[in-house]
Structures are given as C-alpha cells and as structure tokens.
Structure 1
Amino acid sequence: MKKNKKTKRLILRVCLLSLFLGAAGYSIYSSVTGDSRSLIKAGDAAPDFVLTDLDGNTHQLSDYKGQGVFLNFWGTWCKPCEKEMPYIENQYNDFKDKGVQTIAVNVGESDFQVQNFVDEYSMSFPVVIDQKKDVQNAYTIGPLPTTLLINPEGEIIKVITGEMTEEDIKKYMQMIQPAEDQ
C-alpha cells in the first residue's frame, strides 16, 4: 500500500515537472525566436491583397491607387463593428464619388453569416471575406474593429482600433480624400 502511494506520487511529480519544463521551454523558444511580424503602422506602405466580395468580384488594393481607402476589419459577432457599420455606410455614400473608397474585410466567417449581416445593415460598399486570415495577418490586425486609412499613394496614414463615431469616420475619410477633390 505504501509503495503504491509512493509510485502514484512519483508519477504525479514527474507529470507536473514535465508540464512545467514544457511551458518554460515554450516561453524561452517564443522569446528567442520572437514574432517575426512587425506591427503595421502609419507611414508603412499598405500590403497589397486580393479578396473576393459576396458577389464574386475580386478587389485588389493596388487597383484603388490614386484614391483614399478606408479599410475596415470587422466581424459579425463584434458589437462595436455592428454599431459603426451604419455610420460607415452613410459616410461611404457621401465620399464614394469624392475619391474615397471603403472596403470592409470580414475576418474568416462564412458567406452566410456575412451576407445576413450585410443585408441587415444595408451595406452597399464592398465587403470581402478573408477566409484564411492572410490579410488580417499581413496587416497584423488584433482587436476588432480595426480601420486603416490609406492615402491615394498607398501609404497607411493612420491605424484606428476600436469603435468610431460617425463624426470620426467623416473626419477620417476627409483625411484620405484626394487633394484635387477636396
């Protein structure tokens, strides 16, 4: 009986030690290798991408060169995203003929979920789905919503994380509006 208890205790200790060593090893490995991605920031060139919208049309960021791009990353489950979508829609309608385009990038949800959301909020700007999250990773997007303001030259001039008011969105779209159209 006593030997059996000692064996169980030894096994438990070995398991705990193994778990601890594994966690410590992973921490050391992570800190040594580091995250090779650097955070995208104002002043960086916007990484080009091609994504498909719900109608099957492709949207390549570089095709919008010469226009400002309001690039919004969002999810259907995200309450701040839900709240700001009508504001984005209103400002899109005001700025789409002034050289400012809006692209809403959904991060990996199903076409069905996204289409229901788009229909519910009557979104008329391009909505693309980043199924593999390649674009999300290229832009090092963390929390949602995150919006990037891209000037007509393709440079990121501002990264906004969190919910925006309609006044914010209007101000941001004015910031990326091509000079000759202001």
Structure 2
Amino acid sequence: MITLDFDGFKSEIETPSEDLRIYNFWATWCAPCIHEMPYFESVVKDTKGTNLVFVSLDDDRRPERVKAFVEKKGFSSPIWLLSEKEQKDWKQKLKEDWSGAIPATLFVTAAGKRHFHTGQISEEKLKELIETYK
C-alpha cells in the first residue's frame, strides 16, 4: 500500500500505458464499495489488457486500518491511500462535478481518455464498461 498526494496520483494516472486502467475509489466504511471489490478484482484478473488499483479514501493517518482490512479480505490488487489533507481539493481536480460520493470508478484508456462513473457498478456493467473502453 502506498500513500499519494494529488500530484502523485495525477502523475500515476497520466503515465502512458498500453492497458485500460481502472481506479476504484472506496473506503473501509462504505458497504457498497466493499460489495463490489471482489468482483472488480476477479473480472480484471480474467480480462487481458486491464489493470486495477483500489484507491482508498480512508483517513491516511490510520493506514493500519486499511492494511488490516485488505489483508483480511485477501485482495491482491494495488492499494493506494490518498492523502487526507488534500481530499477536499483533489476531488474537483479529478472530476469537476464529483461530490466525492463513493463508490466511484475512473477508467483511463490506453489512449489516455478518462471516463468517470459514480455509484456502484454491477459485475455485468463492469464487464460492459471494460469492453466499451478497451
């Protein structure tokens, strides 16, 4: 697990890639987030040319809470913990009209085009979005 500020996050998502990258915003206290995480991980593992990062919005002053949760659930995808002190600012920088509601998912195509989805995504819809953006 790594902790990133907005500039670090922006740099990561702007780094060129040949794959579709999926950034799923979640928190340990968000039941819909926790519900979708297992199938996000399994669908991406089964889909060539896709990468998944779980981006935690938990308090970065308590990273042990996120680490314990991830270990308990057995997730293997990368986990990024966003800097708490910048969360109010980076949400609008990422998507101007995003209220910060989670779950939310950012899809970044190989060409660098961004698609943002707010709200829980079903497994079927996730597969459909991957095929659309791939």
TM-based fold match above 0.5 = yes
User: Residues 176, 49 of structure 1: CA spacing in aligned structure 2 closer, same or farther, 3 A cutoff?
Assistant: farther
Matched letter for residue 93 of structure 1: K
- 2:116 and 2:125 map into 1 onto residues whose CA distance is 13
Alignment partner, residue 21 of structure 1: none
Alignment map for 1:1-182 (pairs within 5 Å): 49-51=7-9, 60-95=12-47, 98-109=48-59, 110-132=62-84, 133=87, 135-140=90-95, 141=98, 142-156=100-114, 158-177=115-134
Matched letter for residue 56 of structure 2: N
TM-score, normalisation: structure 2:
0.77
Contact conserved, 1:68 with 1:151, CA < 8 A, in 2?
yes
User: How far apart are 1:174 and its partner, in Å?
Assistant: 2.0
Matched letter for residue 125 of structure 2: D
Structure 1 unpaired stretches of 5+: 1-47, 52-58, 178-182
Structure 2 unpaired stretches of 5+: 1-5
The structure richer in strand per residue is 2
- Structure number with bigger Rg: 1
- 1:159 and 1:112 map into 2 onto residues whose CA distance is 29
User: Residues 100, 166 of structure 1: CA spacing in aligned structure 2 closer, same or farther, 3 A cutoff?
Assistant: same
User: % of aligned pairs identical?
Assistant: 28
Give CA deviations for 1:93-127 in whole Å, capped at 9, x if unaligned.
112xx211111111142211111221222211111
Q: Which structure exhibits the higher relative contact order, with contacts defined as CA atoms closer than 8 Å and separated by 6 or more residues?
A: 2
**Over aligned residue pairs, what C-alpha RMSD do you find?**
2.1
